[in-house]
Structure 1
Amino acid sequence: MVAVAVTLVLWASAFVAIRHLAHDFSPGALSLGRLLVASLVLALVVAAGGRMPRPTLRQWGSIAAIGVLWFGVYNVALNAGEQRVDAGTAAMLIQVSPVLIALLAATFLSERFTVHLTIGLVLAFSGVAVIGLSSTDAGGTRDLLGVFLCLLSALVYSISLVLQKPLVAKLSALHVTWLACTIGTVVCLPWAGQLASQVRDAPLSSSLWLIYLGVFPTAIAFTTYAYALRHMTASKLGVTTYLVPPLTIVMGLVFLDEVPPGIAYVGGALALVGVAVARRNTARKDVEEPAAAPS
C-alpha cells in the first residue's frame, strides 16, 4: 500500500534530518520548530475534515499527557540523543517500543504476561546492551548517554501509545494527534528564544530541513499512518515498521556518510528478533501499535 510506504520512508528520513540538524539547532529549539510547523499543517488538515468531536475532561487529561510526553519529552530526548549517536543506531533503539508497549499493557491494562513477552524482553534488551557497548562519541569514547536518551524516547512514546489507545476508540486519531502536537508545542515554548536566534544564524538549507521535519515526517506521515491503520490491522502495520531502521541506515549512508558501528547491527538484529517474539500470541492484538518513531 502506498500509504504504508510513504509513512515508513518519511519516518526513516526523520532520524536522518534530526542528525543533520544537530549541528545548527539545540534539542529544544529543534523540537519547538518542528512541532510548530506540524501543528499548523495538522490544523489545516483537521479543518478540512469538518467538525471535531469535543473531548471529555478525562480525555483532555490523557491528550495533555500525550502532548507532554510524546511530543514534548520524546522529541527533546531524541534530538539530544542523536547529537551523540548516529541516525541508524537511534532508529534501532526506538524500535524496541513494541516490547515496552506490551510490558506496559501487561502491567497496567490487565494483559497477560506471556512467555513470548518474557523471552522478547530478554532478547530485545540484550540487543540494546550490545548497541550501547558499540556506541561511541566523535572522539571514540563510549557514549551511553546517547543510548539512554533514545531509550527514554522509546519509553515515553510507549506510555503515550498506551494512553492513546482508549482515546482513538472514541475520537479521531488525527484529531488526537493534532491536539497533542499543539500541547507539545506549548511545552517547548521555553526554547522560543533559542529557536529564533538559531534560525537567524543557521544556513537556509537547515531551516528548510526544519520545515521538512514538521511537514513531512510529522504532519503528512501521521496522516498516511492513520489512513493505513483504517485499512489494515495494527499488528500487520506494526510488522512493516521493522523496515524503518534499515531504511534509516541507508539514508544515513547516502545523506550523512555515516553508518552504525559494525557490532551495532548485531545488537539491532537481536533487538528486532526480541520485538518479533514479544508480539507473537499476545492476549489482545489491538494493544499493538506500530513503533517507528517519526521524530
Structure 2
Amino acid sequence: MTTPPRRTERAAAAAAVVTVVLWASAFVSIRSAGSAYSPGALALGRLASGALALGVISLVRREGVPPRSAWRGIAISGVLWFGFYMVVLNWGEQQVDAGTAALVVNIGPILIALLGSRLLGDAMPPRLLAGMAVSFAGAVTVGLSMSGDGGSSVLGVVLCLLAAVAYAGGVVSQKPALARASALQVTTFGCLVGAVMCLPFAGQLVGQAGDAPLSATLNMVYLGVFPTALAFTTWAYALARTTASKMGATTYAVPALVVLMSWLALGEVPGLLTLGGGVLCLAGVAVSRSRPGAKARARAKRAAATDEPQPEQVP
C-alpha cells in the first residue's frame, strides 16, 4: 500500500527534528568525553558503540547487506563523514574556541547546497537560498558571540574547514546510495566503514579508557548510540525523501539548540547576541523548509497554463 505524500513528508520532517536535537545534544556530551579521550580515541569509541547498536537492530530486522550498487556511496560517506569528519572535528575543537568551530563548520550546509546542485541536480528555489542566508547570518552571530573563550589557531581553523568539506562530501555521496538501499543499511555500513578507518586509534582508546572517569565513558557511549546510531539513521530516512540542500539547511537549527541545551544542562547563560543568533538560525530553517503560499502556487499554475499550446480556432 502506498503511503500518502503528505504523511511521508510529515514523517521525514519528524525524522529531521530527531536528528538535529540529538546532534545538538552531542556538543554537550563531547565536552565531557573530550576532556578524557583524544580525538581519534573518542571517534573510535563513538563509532564502535554506534556500529554495535546498529548491528543488533539490523540483525533483528534482517536488513541484510546493501546491494553492490549502493556500496560506492556508502564507502565514500563512511570514510568522509563517519571517519575523517569525526576525528578532525574533535581535534579542531581542541585547537579553537567553540564559537570559531561552530562558525567554520557551518560552511558545510552551503557546500552541500552547491555540491547538491552541481552533482545531484538539486533545485535551488529562492526560499531555500533566503533561508540559508538568514540561518548563516545567525550562525555567524552565535559564533562571534561565543568566540574568544578558548583561543584560536590556524591549525584549528583548517581542521574545522576540513570537517565542513568532509561533512558536505559525505552527505552528497550518501544521497544516491539511499535510492538503492534502506536508511538503516546505509547508516549501519557507513558507520562500520568509519569505525574500521579509526582502528589505528584502538591503542589510545584502550589506554585512555582505564584512566577516564565513568561520566566521560558513558558520554562516549551515548554519542555512539543516540547522536550516531539513531540520529544518522533518522537523517538518512529524511534525506531519502527530500533534497540534500534542504536537509543541509535544516542542520542550521543545531547552533540554536546547542545554546539552549548549554543553558539548561550546563548553566551557561547566553548573552542577548547569542540568543539573537539562535533565533535567526531557527527563522532561516523555517523559511528554507516552508512551502509557497496559495498565491504563489496559483501564479505558478497560471504560468504553466500559458505555456501550454492553445487549440487552433476554426474560422
TM tier, shorter chain?
0.7 to 0.9
Q: Which amino acid aligns with 2:80?
A: L
Point out where structure 2 has 5 or more consecutive residues left out of the alignment. Answer: 1-10, 292-315
- Out of 19, 22, 31, which is 1:10 matched to? 22
Which string of whole-angstrom CA distances, capped at 9 and with x for unpartnered residues, describes residues 121-179 of structure 1? 7777666666666564546x455654543343232122111111111111101101110
Change (3 A) 1:206 1:29: same
TM-score (normalizing by structure 1): 0.75
The alpha-carbon deviation at position 44 of structure 1 amounts to 0.6
SS in 2 for 1:32: helix
SS in 1 for 2:36: coil
Q: Say whether 1:221 aligns with 2:227.
A: no
Q: Which residue of 2 aligns with 1:39?
A: 51
Q: Which residue of 2 aligns with 1:101?
A: 112
SS in 2 for 1:40: helix
Change (3 A) 1:70 1:13: same
Q: How does 1:57-76 map to 2 (within 5 A)?
A: 58-76=69-87
SS in 1 for 2:44: helix
Quick check: 1-10 or 31-40, which moved more?
Answer: 1-10
1:145 and 1:132 mapped to 2: Cα distance?
Answer: 18
Q: Confirm or deny: 8 A CA contact 2:103 2:140 kept in the other structure.
A: no
Q: Confirm or deny: 8 A CA contact 2:178 2:186 kept in the other structure.
A: yes
1:158 and 1:227 mapped to 2: Cα distance?
Answer: 17
SS in 2 for 1:82: helix
Q: Which residue of 2 aligns with 1:245?
A: 255
1:138 and 1:199 mapped to 2: Cα distance?
Answer: 28
Which string of whole-angstrom CA distances, capped at 9 and with x for unpartnered residues, describes residues 233-271 of structure 1? 568877764432222112122333446776566666667
Q: Which residue of 2 aligns with 1:176?
A: 186
- Out of 25, 33, 36, which is 1:21 matched to? 33
Change (3 A) 1:243 1:116: closer
SS in 1 for 2:52: helix
Change (3 A) 1:107 1:156: same
Quick check: 104-113 or 244-253, which moved more?
Answer: 104-113
Q: Confirm or deny: 8 A CA contact 2:183 2:237 kept in the other structure.
A: no
Q: Which residue of 1 aligns with 2:266?
A: 256
Q: Say whether 1:161 aligns with 2:168.
A: no
Change (3 A) 1:112 1:229: closer
1:149 and 1:131 mapped to 2: Cα distance?
Answer: 20
2:281 and 2:135 mapped to 1: Cα distance?
Answer: 4
**How many equivalent residue pairs?**
278
The alpha-carbon deviation at position 104 of structure 1 amounts to 0.4
Q: Which amino acid aligns with 1:160?
A: G
SS in 2 for 1:171: coil
Q: Confirm or deny: 8 A CA contact 1:6 1:224 kept in the other structure.
A: yes
Q: Which amino acid aligns with 1:101?
A: I
Which string of whole-angstrom CA distances, capped at 9 and with x for unpartnered residues, describes residues 174-233 of structure 1? 101110100100111111111111111111111111111111111122344456678x75
Point out where structure 1 has 5 or more consecutive residues left out of the alignment. Answer: 282-295
Q: Confirm or deny: 8 A CA contact 1:99 1:120 kept in the other structure.
A: no
Higher relative contact order (CA closer than 8 Å, sequence separation 6+) = 1
The alpha-carbon deviation at position 102 of structure 1 amounts to 1.6
Q: Which residue of 2 aligns with 1:200?
A: 210
Which string of whole-angstrom CA distances, capped at 9 and with x for unpartnered residues, describes residues 12-46 of structure 1? 11111112222111111110000000000000111
| Cα root mean square deviation, aligned | 3.8
TM-score (normalizing by structure 2): 0.71
